[in-house]
Amino acid sequence: MFDIIDRVIDSGEPYRASAIPAVFDSDGDGIPETHYFNLVYQPLLDGNNEVYAIALVATEVSELVRAREIAESSQRAAEAANLAKSEFLAAMSHELRTPLNAISGYVELLEMGIHGPVTAAQLEALRRVRASQRHLLTLINDILSHARIQAGRTEFRIQPLLAAEIVGSIEALVSPQARARGIDYGADPCDGELQLLADEERVRQILLNLVGNAIKYTDPGGIVRISCRAEGEWVLFQVRDNGRGIPATNLESIFDPFTQVGRTLSRPEEGVGLGLAISRELARGMNGDISAESEMGVGSVFTLRMRRTGITGT
């Protein structure tokens, strides 16, 4: 305290300090408590600009300091709980995949007639077992990816990529699904020079999810288009459909885990609502983002933006 007074006298400048602890018994119960004060040592100057006195203003801020401590400790607890949850999910997903692989193996043996002849009705039942097994495996893989990203365990191999090549590589992967649903799928012409910085597998995973959704949520006869273009420092990939659309109130929440619009249990083929959450997390992990625009009954546009590279003359 004397040091501070000396400093204020020498400099003629006020000195401020926040949340300084002081231990004393203020409620008279004989037990000292810690109080916190914001302090101002204000020099009072005479006509010659000399310090003739120092006013000390102390404001008690104990409640504020305690509230801040509580908030910080609950945030730390929430972060620890989140990490534990993610690690539990990652471990569980591994445990779930092993028996699922066994199911697929035994179905295959039965189909091949290894255990004796199989009737047409039995084959049909086996086909359904296999379809359910595949669906469950997809869900578990989604949960596993989500848990991995949440636990900060996803690594990205960022490198320069040609946007047109990425768009081109999607076609072969989504055409069977588009054909099966009677959707006209196509890619708009894309600048062959345009380059982005991203992890190739991940950016393809995101686009496959966006195109997959567009096909899923558009009625047969509908149109789905993918395109890419430059916008300043960004490469924008857009996936458009003329499907059912998304209500304005849901345009943000669809990116939250396990959020689905108008979900009915009678359509289990529609997934668990993790696709967009994973896609956004992956996009952000590569310094990009995803956004959605939509009009009910008219269609939706999903935009993936990734960092552009290889720009000459800028």
222 binds ligand ADP (CB under 6 A): no
- The smaller minimum CB distance to ligand ADP, of residues 43 and 212, is found at 212
Residue 273 binds to ligand ADP (criterion: CB under 6 A): yes
Between strands 184-187 and 223-231, the pairing is parallel
212: amino acid identity, one letter: G
Q: How far apart are CA 230 and CA 131, in angstroms?
A: 40
Nearer to ligand ADP, 126 or 261 (CB): 261
Q: What is the residue whose two structure tokens read 């990734």? A: 306
Residue 303 binds to ligand ADP (criterion: CB under 6 A):
no
Q: Which of 200, 270, 289, 293 binds ligand ADP (CB under 6 A)?
A: 270
241 binds ligand ADP (CB under 6 A): yes
Match 């995101």 to its residue by tokens.
206
Residue list 181-220, contact with ligand ADP (CB under 6 A): 213-214, 217
Per CB under 6 A, the list member of 43, 222, 275, 288 interacting with ligand ADP is 275
- DSSP conformation letters of 135-166: HHHHHHHHHHHHHHHHTT------EEEEHHHH
Strand-pair category, 299-309 with 195-198 = antiparallel
Residue 300 in the binding site for ligand ADP (CB under 6 A): yes
Tokens of 257: 């885990």
Q: Which range in 48-56, 67-75, 120-128, 268-276 contacts ligand ADP by CB under 6 A?
A: 268-276
Classify 299 as helix, strand or coil: strand
Q: Which residues bind ligand ADP (CB under 6 A)?
A: 213-214, 217, 241, 243-244, 246, 254, 259-261, 270-277, 300
